[in-house]
Amino acid sequence: MSALGAAAKKGLGDPVLAELVMMRASQINACAFCLDMHVDIALEHGETPKRIALLNAWEEAGALFSERERAALALTEAVTVLTEGFVPDATYAKAAEHFTVGELAHLLGVITVINSWNRLMVSRRIAPGGPAW
């Protein structure tokens, strides 16, 4: 998973966006371990504390998040919460407007990997800063 995650992030080509996606999935999945780690990484990549604080309300945050980021976050939520069925066609189409086919594949890779990590860490009840293994 580490290799897939690194390749997906590299292929996406936008480390801040990758961290936003990973933080948002981690918020939804209540994974404090991953959220803690990816907040630190996002700050290292230049993300602002204000945007991190408002990530949970990105839809209401207006222009604070770009249309490209908003499309990625909507796709993240749709893939993370599959309880209502498939990813809505409109959500996927909106993401496809902002990402090339390759970028979209890498974005889906980032989303899939963080959801897997979230499930591992939450299942094991790993606290922020705790040992991953």
Tens-place pLDDT, residues 85-123: 899 999 999 999 999 999 999 999 999 999 999 999 999
**Mean pLDDT throughout 43-48?**
98
The answer to whether 114 touches 28, Cβ cutoff 8 Å, is no
Mean per-residue pLDDT of the chain: 95
pLDDT value for 30: 96
Q: How far is Cα 127 from Cα 32, in angstroms, rounded to an integer?
A: 6
Stretch 49-56: mean pLDDT: 98
Q: Determine the pLDDT at residue 133.
A: 67
Range of lowest pLDDT (16-20, 78-82, 83-87, 105-109)? 83-87
* Structure tokens, 53: 């604080």
Other Cβ atoms within 10 Å of 49 Cβ, number: 10
Q: What is the DSSP letter of 88?
A: P
pLDDT(84) > 80: no
In CATH, which of 1.25.40.10, 1.10.10.10, 3.40.250.10, 1.20.1290.10 is domain 2-124?
A: 1.20.1290.10
Reduce the DSSP state of residue 133 to 3 states and report it: coil
| Residue 44 pLDDT greater than 80, yes or no | yes
DSSP-derived 3-state class of residue 75: helix
* pLDDT value of residue 129: 85
Query: How many angstroms separate the CA atoms of 43 and 46, rounded?
Result: 5
Which candidate, 120, 80, 74, places its Cα nearest to that of 93? Answer: 74
